[in-house]
Structure 1
Amino acid sequence: MTSLYIPHLLILTGLIGIHSDIITVSKVSVQTRGSISIPCLYGFHHRNHVKYLCRGFFFNFCKIVVQTNQPKSSSGRFSIYDDTNQTIFTVSINDLRDEDNYYSWWCAVEIENAADVKQRLYLSVTSGMSNLYVDQQELTAFEGGSVTVLCHYKYLKQTRWCRLSRDCVTDQTGSIDGTPVTINTSVPDVFSVAMSKLRKESSGWYLCSNGDLEMPVHITVNELISTTTTTVSPTTAMTLSTTQQHSSMLTSTEPCTAHPTNTTIATTGGESLQDDLKSSTKVTILITTLVLLLLVVPAAFFGWRMIKHSKSKPEGPDIAAGSQTGRDPEVLYATVTFNKHVAAQRKGNHMPEESVTYSTIVIKDRE
């Protein structure tokens, strides 16, 4: 009897795919017209093989809807991406329909000259709210930080948080690969999963699980880039700036490109260096203006006095002359008077201090 059942058991195993070399989700609930991304983990020795998604109850008769040598389907509903470094290929299904609910789906790897390896998964497509869903399937965090995933459910059963092909946390607290995990079920219709002290190694696919339903979530942990804020005095900052400029002119032979930075250089007084330089510039301008006023005003006053003094001096010698006629009409007396400054001018020209002018007057006879 046993020998009679063995061939039938082997045939059934090949039809429904009990044996598997692939790890994926078991059952996923998705809303109509929604979309879903499903990770399929395979062995390292299958990295260079073709991977595909197949639809049908029996694997040997299923229909391939998308494969890695043709990443997108003709309808555009299906796509596939193979990460050979992580040995995971991800299939995405868009615009899910009611008829998709009645099929079995297979993650499979093509093996030449042998049977393909595969793993069955079920899609539960509902017209209303999904029995288990998350707000986002793709989350990003930073090293040393934390991330929180909200898993919405319709009926609360046993909750778990698992890493694909790794350990699971079922209690309120636990850890996965050294990363602390906290599960909170105090809020109705949702349980939250918090992961803290994240590392780069924490990146990967996780499963939010409630009963037999699973929802895959991918978490990417990025390296945290730190920035340094330097505090220097204005004098030091100006010296550094001048030194850098001279150094750049002496050593640089190629054009430089300035890149914006978020670093703030603050003065010792709590103000930024830029504000301090502006204040210094204003003081310099004010002092320069005052110095110019002190020089220009006295010069203008002195010039005005010189012009006024030059206008008050006579242009030539001041000579006063008078004449009168005596009793004798034939005799005319003339008086000539010289001012002192005229005598001084003549003294400068080596003239005698006093001079006598002789005049001869000729009177014509009256006719």
Structure 2
Amino acid sequence: MDRDGLLFVFILIKLSGSQDVNTVRTVSVQSGQSIIIPCLYKQTYAFSHNRKVLTVHMEDVRESNQFSCPAVIPSGPGQPDNFSLEVTAGRPRLSVQRQIENVSEGKSVSVSCIHQGEAPVQWCQLHGLCVTDRGTIDGAEVEIRHHQEHVTTVILSKLKMKNTGWYLCSTRQLQMPVHITVHNRTDEITPSARNRTAVFFLLPVILEILLIIIIYSALKLLTFIKERFLSPAEEGQYVMMHGEQSPHACEEAYEIMAELTTNTEPRSESDYVNFRET
């Protein structure tokens, strides 16, 4: 785009509306920890109204300082875009267990705001609306419970996908941003659904293994039957060789065997004596 084109866009932005930036005022972070800071930009044009969030990820913070949200377009009248980072050696004055929460549509989620006597604790949208005790934000029910001296639990229920966005645990001086992501119920994968999916993918493998086992067992059984019942043994061969002979041949064989038995009987002592005398 040439210089004249850029100048035209700049003039259009300045004439069409102004930029508002919503972010935290002061966050408290323990030294060496990380923090996510959302910067919510609101640009009103003559023909549209859009919101855009940029997140600033700060890792291994060490020193307290003043920071600004990244500039997207030339600033106009509106809220300031800077925030203060308070770094503490010990526990921060206001913190949460997780800055990112995920929940299914229609379900509930709890956020624990941990503070060091910084009360009262409110639950706020990044762009303004707050609840101190009970209330609703964009149709979602908000209940704040003070369970312990330094812990305040925020319970969000009846959530819908439109409730996805950035919120704040907020006190008079500090804010801690929390992002709530509400998923569609159809996108939720329950444990039972995971099990069914796993079985679906494993079923072909299981069937293949069973088929291999069945084939192997059948081959082993066939080999056993062949060796045990179909292979000719020595006794079987003898019977087959003589099975076609006549009954007289069997009787002759019996007589020959009887004669051999008689002839092989040991002689008496007198036989041996007579033989020597001769």
TM superposition score normalised by structure 1: 0.47
Q: Select 1:140's aligned residue among 79, 90, 102.
A: 102
Q: Structure 1 counterpart of 2:172, which letter?
A: G
Q: Structure 1 counterpart of 2:119, which letter?
A: K
Shift of 1:31: 2.2
Q: Select 1:224's aligned residue among 176, 180, 188.
A: 188
Q: Structure 2 counterpart of 1:217, which letter?
A: V
Q: Structure 1 counterpart of 2:116, which letter?
A: K
| Between structures 1 and 2, the one with greater helix share | 2
1:208 aligns with 2:169: yes
8 Å contact from structure 2 (residues 42, 51) kept in 1: no
5+ residue gaps, structure 2? 1-17, 250-278
CA distance in 2, matches of 1:148, 1:169: 15
Deviations 1:138-192 (A, max 9, x none): 2333334433222111104111112211532221x43322223332211232122
CA 1:180–1:303 in structure 2 vs 1: closer, same or farther (change >3 Å)?
Answer: farther
Structure possessing the higher radius of gyration over alpha carbons? 1
CA distance in 2, matches of 1:170, 1:110: 33
1:27 aligns with 2:46: no
CA distance in 2, matches of 1:197, 1:293: 72
> Tell me, what secondary structure is at the counterpart of 1:306?
helix
Shift of 1:87: 0.8
CA 1:263–1:194 in structure 2 vs 1: closer, same or farther (change >3 Å)?
Answer: farther
1:91 aligns with 2:70: no
CA 1:299–1:96 in structure 2 vs 1: closer, same or farther (change >3 Å)?
Answer: closer
> Tell me, what secondary structure is at the counterpart of 2:111?
strand
**1:15: which partner in 2?**
none
Map 1:1-367; keep pairs closer than 5 Å: 21-45=20-44, 86-98=51-63, 100-101=64-65, 104-107=66-69, 109=71, 111=73, 118-171=80-133, 173-222=134-183, 223-225=187-189, 227=193, 261-263=197-199, 274=207, 281=214, 285=218, 289=222, 292=225, 296=229, 303-309=237-243
Shift of 1:129: 1.6
> Tell me, what secondary structure is at the counterpart of 2:103?
strand
> Tell me, what secondary structure is at the counterpart of 1:38?
strand
Q: Structure 2 counterpart of 1:89, which letter?
A: L
8 Å contact from structure 1 (residues 42, 87) kept in 2: yes
> Tell me, what secondary structure is at the counterpart of 1:33?
coil
Shift of 1:115: 5.1
5+ residue gaps, structure 1? 1-18, 47-84, 231-260, 266-272, 315-367
8 Å contact from structure 1 (residues 208, 216) kept in 2: yes
CA 1:264–1:157 in structure 2 vs 1: closer, same or farther (change >3 Å)?
Answer: same
> Tell me, what secondary structure is at the counterpart of 1:121?
strand
CA distance in 1, matches of 2:158, 2:238: 84
CA 1:285–1:94 in structure 2 vs 1: closer, same or farther (change >3 Å)?
Answer: closer
8 Å contact from structure 1 (residues 180, 196) kept in 2: yes
TM superposition score normalised by structure 2: 0.59
8 Å contact from structure 1 (residues 183, 193) kept in 2: yes
8 Å contact from structure 2 (residues 139, 158) kept in 1: no
CA distance in 2, matches of 1:228, 1:90: 33
CA 1:290–1:32 in structure 2 vs 1: closer, same or farther (change >3 Å)?
Answer: closer
Which protein has greater RCO, CA pairs closer than 8 Å, 6+ apart?
2
